[in-house]
């Protein structure tokens, strides 16, 4: 897909929304946990040392953004990542953060 240049208002809104999804550290941590496969709210809450309510709130945001999907099995709801493009975005961001940390470390030691 080719992104128009200059960006249309709609395209800019969609891109900004994608970044807003990742603007909350808990959502980034949830996505990291879901890298290994689907999990339910209680499993995620335990892994991240937070409340099920907090996890549910953030998973709801990610679901509305089209990044995760849910399936019900008995009394549990399991979440999984359905937009694998999010991994590419996270990978790019992690690389940028890593380079920034290396640069800061070199400046402090140099």
pLDDT score of 4 more than 90: no
CATH architecture for residues 9-83: Orthogonal Bundle (1.10)
Given a cut of 70, is residue 1 above it in pLDDT? no
Q: What is the pLDDT of residues 59-88, one digit of tens each?
A: 999 999 999 999 999 999 999 999 988 878
Q: What is the mean pLDDT of residues 30-54?
A: 97
Please report, for the chain, the start and end positions of each structural domain, with discontinuous segments joined by +.
Answer: 9-83
As a whole number of angstroms, the distance between CA 72 and CA 61 comes to 18
Task: Report the number of secondary-structure helices (H) and strands (E) in the chain.
Answer: 5, 3
Asked if the model's pLDDT at residue 54 lies above 90, the reply is yes
């Amino acid at each position: 897909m080719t992104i128009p240049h200059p960006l249309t208002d709609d395209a800019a809104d969609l891109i900004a929304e994608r970044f807003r999804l990742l603007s909350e550290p808990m959502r980034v941590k949830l996505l990291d946990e879901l890298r290994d496969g689907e999990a339910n709210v209680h499993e995620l809450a335990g892994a991240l040392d937070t409340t099920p309510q907090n996890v549910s709130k953030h998973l709801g945001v990610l679901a509305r953004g089209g990044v995760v999907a849910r399936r019900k099995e008995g009394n549990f709801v399991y979440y999984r990542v359905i937009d694998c493009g999010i991994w590419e975005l996270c990978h790019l961001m992690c690389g940028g953060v890593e380079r920034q940390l290396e640069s800061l470390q070199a400046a402090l030691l140099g």
